[in-house]
Amino acid sequence: MSDDPVLSANQAFAHKLAHAQSLSWFCALCPQILQVHSLKDLQRLPVQAVEDEHGGVLFSALGEASHRAPGGGLTLTSGGSTGNRKHITHSWTFNASIVPLGARMFGVADERPGVVINCLTAGEMQGAFQYAAAIVQHVGARLLPAGSLMGVQRIAGLIQSQAADALICTPSFAAALFNHDEIDAQQLVSLRWLYYIGEPCAPQLREQLVRDWPAIRLRSLGYSSTETGPIGYQCVHLGHGFYHLHADAMFIEVVDPLTLQAVAAGESGEFLLTSLLPDHVPLLRYRIGDRGRILRNGANCACGSALPVLQLEGRVETSIKLGGALITQRQVMSVIAQALPQLASNDIQVQINRQANGVRMCLVIAQDKLPSGAEAAIEQALHNEAQASALLRLPGVLGLQVQRLARSRFETTATGKTPFFIELEATTDSPG
Ligand SMILES: [Zn+2]
């Protein structure tokens, strides 16, 4: 690749475009591809998305074609709400090419972990565990493939016995490890780096590590997704939420989420991603569901990289379908703000328990943000609030319960994330 990321991007896109235009099934589904000649023409193409009502068909076709492509590859589960999971196969060439991108975070810095314990979820049709392992191999460190299912106590024992200096895990896993009653701080003193991936790191964990574990540097292992591969990396000079864009491997459009028109340079908007790495199928203008902005000018990072810096500001919106209605995170937050204005979205989890006769909801609030015994008063306030009472009258909605819980007892997904909305596995007894 060229030293100039813009030149590299244009060259890589020319190959990507030629490949897309050579695929007859793709041209049939997306005839606009024939009107595209350079990155500037991308907006002529429809947006691709796992669930979007327009892009969903296209994404499904991409997935099917990627499985059939010669040479095999790695099949992963892409995003999508429960019950609407889709799969995509990345070629082995693609899988090899993402590793040096992931290792960019170590750059020329003198940060070289020696013994790395990988506590990401292994398997589950997710690529993060293998990706992290390949990065560790690339930087020449020793790797302990623990996985998340060993449990935090056994992992603490392993960290101590192997003198592991780096931990790769989700923030939810780290929070459980550093707040476990049975784990002695002495077991974790060899740790120097905590590399997280899979979800944003909540301020509580960041503050706790700064306060109680000053010897540990907390860094993102990168901004990436199953569908796109690596998007950005965090050099040692970038703070929380900031990443160098892999501009030679990924093209980002920042658009208004409603109109899908580009926002002004440097403004915040929704990301549309066009992967420039060779792969089985062309992922163009992929709607990842994240919002943020790109600081193209004046970034001049102290690491010396010419790659632009992006600021990841969060998810566009999470939502869940309930009783035939779409409930968004913003709606839930605005209702709760009436009673508890100081709550942030990561202080709350909405647990959905679908039963034979309908749906029960549990609004879980972090116990450090809700006084003990306040649950009933919050429940009453929600019943009196117009939007919440309308929700509770929806067909099939059986009730709402408020529960005060330690953050470590919030439900996590199979891949170790702590989502805002989560569907619980069906149980025979009702939780409330
Ligand atoms: Zn930098």
Q: pLDDT, tens digit, for every residue of 354-377?
A: 887 788 899 999 999 999 998 998
Q: How far is the CA of 302 from the centre of ligand 1 (A)?
A: 6
Q: What is the rounded average pLDDT of the residues 73-98?
A: 86
Residue 270 has pLDDT above 90, yes or no: yes
Q: pLDDT, tens digit, for every residue of 59-68?
A: 999 999 999 9
Q: pLDDT, tens digit, for every residue of 86-136?
A: 899 999 999 999 999 999 999 876 789 999 999 998 988 889 999 999 999
The pLDDT assigned to 384 comes to: 85
Provide the percentage of residues in the chain whose pLDDT is more than 90: 60
Mean residue pLDDT across the chain: 89
Residue 428 has pLDDT above 50, yes or no: no
Q: Give 73-108 as a DSSP string.
A: -EEEE----TT---EEEE-HHHHHHHHHHHGGGGTT
Residue 141 CA to residue 419 CA, distance in Å, equals: 32
Domain residue ranges in the chain: 5-90+223-315, 100-220, 319-423
Cα distances from 218 to residues 158, 212, 301, in angstroms, run 20, 13, 19
Q: Give 45-78 as a DSSP string.
A: SPPB-SS-TTHHHHHHHHHHHHHHSTT--EEEE-
The pLDDT assigned to 430 comes to: 43
Provide the percentage of residues in the chain whose pLDDT is more than 70: 94
Q: How far is the CA of 233 from the centre of ligand 1 (A)?
A: 9
Residue 107's nearest CA partner among 234, 249, 247 is 234
Residue 243's CB: how many other CB atoms inside 10 A?
A: 24
Query: How many residues appear in the chain?
Result: 432
Residue 281 has pLDDT above 80, yes or no: yes
Is residue 45 within 8 Å of 32, Cβ to Cβ?
Answer: yes
Helices (H) and strands (E) in the chain, counts: 11, 20
CA atoms lying within 13 Å on the CB side of residue 398: 14
The pLDDT assigned to 318 comes to: 76
The better pLDDT of the pair 342, 414 is held by 342
Q: How far is the CA of 242 from the centre of ligand 1 (A)?
A: 9
The better pLDDT of the pair 216, 316 is held by 216
- Give the model's confidence band at 34: pLDDT under 50 very low, under 70 low, under 90 confident, else very high: very high
Q: How far is the CA of 100 from the centre of ligand 1 (A)?
A: 16
Residues with CB under 5 A from ligand 1 (ion): 235, 237, 301, 303, 305
Query: Is CATH 3.30.300 what the domain over 319-423 is classified as, yes or no?
Result: yes
Q: How far is the CA of 308 from the centre of ligand 1 (A)?
A: 9
Q: pLDDT, tens digit, for every residue of 204-229?
A: 899 999 999 999 999 999 999 999 99
**DSSP-derived 3-state class of residue 366:** strand
Strands 115-118 and 166-169: parallel
User: Global pTM?
Assistant: 0.83
- Give the model's confidence band at 426: pLDDT under 50 very low, under 70 low, under 90 confident, else very high: low
For the domain bounded by 100-220, which CATH number is listed?
Answer: 3.40.50.980
- Give the model's confidence band at 432: pLDDT under 50 very low, under 70 low, under 90 confident, else very high: very low
The pLDDT assigned to 110 comes to: 72
Q: How far is the CA of 237 from the centre of ligand 1 (A)?
A: 5
Is residue 21 within 8 Å of 34, Cβ to Cβ?
Answer: yes
Q: How far is the CA of 98 from the centre of ligand 1 (A)?
A: 19
